[in-house]
Amino acid sequence: MSQPVLNNDYDVIVIGGGPAGAATGALVAEHGHSVLVLERSQFPRFHVGESLIPETFWSLKRLGLVDWLRASAYPRKFSVQFFSDGHRPSRPFYFDEYKPCESSQTWQVWRDQFDQRVLERARELGATVHTDAAVLDVQFDGEAATGVRVRLTAADGSREDHKIACRVIVDASGQSAFLSNRLGLKDVDPYLQKGSIWNYFENARRDEGERDEGATLILQTEGKKSWFWFIPLPGNVTSIGCTGAMSYMFPQGAAPADTFQRELQRCPELVERLRHARQTRDFLTTKDYSYYSRQGAGPGWVLVGDAFGFIDPVYSSGVFLALKSAELAADAIHDAFVQQNFSADSLGGWQTQHRAAVTLFRKLVFAFYNPDFSIGSFLKMHPEFRSNITDILIGDVYRPEVGKVFEVMGDVTPPSDRAPVGTMT
């Protein structure tokens, strides 16, 4: 696709064309404002994180993408199931048992296809999208963001730098955390310094039946030193990855394939499911990815999606939080134009509620990683809180009463390999 001719200024510039940036751009453009989305990569591009949780449904419905997903070949996801000690299954968490509505069935998606469709939707709703666009710097007038300096790559490979002005900059740069890093606002999470090794396998055994064959499985290994995700994808392909502490997953001199095989042998359930499977590529890795930004907005700028923070892959919350933050930010940006108020409070007022919702996911992640705590044992003692746990797994985290489970659960913060460097509030 040919690149568009760009103007010298826009109402809003979005840095990043992933789900958070594309959705923000789409919804701000739908509000009637001029929007430029700048994405450094060419699309489609590979990305991990294929499992959608149910509450993404409402953001996707607002974006007009539900019918596209319904017509797709993506596996339908009705539940998530946990295995402890490598072989002991929990009862599946069927979403419709707790929220019986159209959002209780979701999808397992190829992210290159999914992300490209969301970016196309931004174009359809009126946003200008330029890929092969590397933002070099954000321009400020005092504390207020006023534009960007960007390097554009043409079809012939030539590059040219441009300065483009705007009233609002949305940082949706993902785990690059463009503005947060440059402004010194990024804090690593001292309790969730993990790394993952993953691959894609053909012919891994799935559960049978329409209701179970697309389920996400979370399989802890013996001793809870690591865990595997198992995400069914189209074409009889399954995304399977292993996550654990950085020092444990990446010991000096060990190849990722060796670590994966070492941990696989500590997970009998997965060994059985992979008995007739074939890996399709070399192993992939990602490291040290849990962080958050102490400040999520300022005069003329706001953070969304992974640029605001990333927790952990265990509950597949990334795309949901990307799309939800995009919705909240887009509406706040529109209100800022109506009121001509581009302050931090105006652009980021929604982030207090959003941060509280993120904290519920984070606390449940803590419980998962704490070797002295068992969510299954807790629910046997307190079955009245099973719906609260399922609410978080679904993504229904913007109701304060959901967090009451942690009043009973208490502090389940896992041991840290690092000294604490800050607290998420």
Return the pLDDT at 423. Answer: 36
Closest Cα partner for 368 from 324, 321, 317, 330? Answer: 317
Q: Which helix (H) or strand (E) holds 323?
A: helix 318-339
DSSP 191-211: T--EEEEEEEEES----SSTT
User: Which phi and psi angles does 126 have, rounded to 5°?
Assistant: 115, 0
Return the pLDDT at 35. Answer: 98
Please state, as a whole number, how many other Cβ atoms lie within 10 Å of the Cβ of residue 161. 11
CA distance 414 to 291: 16
Return the pLDDT at 154. Answer: 84
Mean pLDDT of 29-54: 96
Q: 130: which strand partners?
A: 38
CA distance 86 to 227: 8
Q: What is the pLDDT of residues 214-231, one digit of tens each?
A: 999 999 999 889 999 999
Which CATH class for the 1-74+109-188+292-425 domain?
alpha beta
What CATH architecture is 78-108+194-287?
A: 2-Layer Sandwich (3.30)
Confidence of residue 421 (pLDDT cuts 50, 70, 90): very low
Whether this prediction's pTM lies above 0.85 is answered by: yes
Return the pLDDT at 1. Answer: 61
CA distance 410 to 360: 13
Pair 190, 421: CB distance under 8 Å: yes
User: Which phi and psi angles does 337 have, rounded to 5°?
Assistant: -70, -40
Pair 245, 192: CB distance under 8 Å: no
Please state, as a whole number, how many other Cβ atoms lie within 10 Å of the Cβ of residue 143. 10
Residue 258 has pLDDT above 80, yes or no: yes
Q: What is the pLDDT of residues 286-304, one digit of tens each?
A: 987 789 999 999 999 999 9
Mean pLDDT of 125-136: 97
Residue 91 has pLDDT above 70, yes or no: yes
Place of tokens 């809180």: 385
3-state secondary structure of 402: helix
Residue 111 has pLDDT above 70, yes or no: yes
Query: Percent of the chain, pLDDT > 90?
Result: 90
Return the pLDDT at 27. Answer: 98
Q: What is the pLDDT of residues 348-397, one digit of tens each?
A: 999 999 999 999 999 999 999 999 999 989 999 999 999 999 999 999 99
Tell me how many degrees the CA angle 55-115-10 measures, rounded to the nearest 5.
Answer: 100
User: Which phi and psi angles does 143 have, rounded to 5°?
Assistant: -95, -5
Pair 137, 15: CB distance under 8 Å: no
Q: What angle, rounded to 10 degrees, do the helices at 19-30 and 111-124 form?
A: 20
Please confirm whether the linkage preceding 44 is cis (ω < 30° from 0): yes
pLDDT mean across residues, the chain: 94
Q: What is the pLDDT of residues 37-47, one digit of tens each?
A: 999 999 999 99
DSSP 149-177: EEEEE-TTS-EEEEEEEEEEEEE--GGG-
Q: How far is CA 419 from CA 251, 387, 393, in A?
A: 20, 34, 29
CA-based end-to-end distance of the chain: 43
**C-alpha torsion sign, points 302, 307, 312, 315:** positive
Please state, as a whole number, how many other Cβ atoms lie within 10 Å of the Cβ of residue 159. 10
Going by the DSSP 8-state scheme, the letter that residue 108 receives in this structure is B
Q: Where in the chain is the domain with CATH 3.30.9.100?
A: 78-108+194-287
3-state secondary structure of 254: coil
Residue 29 has pLDDT above 90, yes or no: yes
Residue 416 has pLDDT above 90, yes or no: no
Q: Where in the chain is the domain with CATH 3.50.50.60?
A: 1-74+109-188+292-425
Pair 75, 214: CB distance under 8 Å: yes
DSSP 263-287: HHTT-HHHHHHTTT-EE-S--EEEE
Q: What is the pLDDT of residues 382-394, one digit of tens each?
A: 999 999 999 999 9
Pair 151, 136: CB distance under 8 Å: yes
Pair 348, 293: CB distance under 8 Å: no
Return the pLDDT at 156. Answer: 84
Q: What is the pLDDT of residues 165-211, one digit of tens each?
A: 999 999 999 999 999 999 999 999 989 989 999 999 999 999 999 99
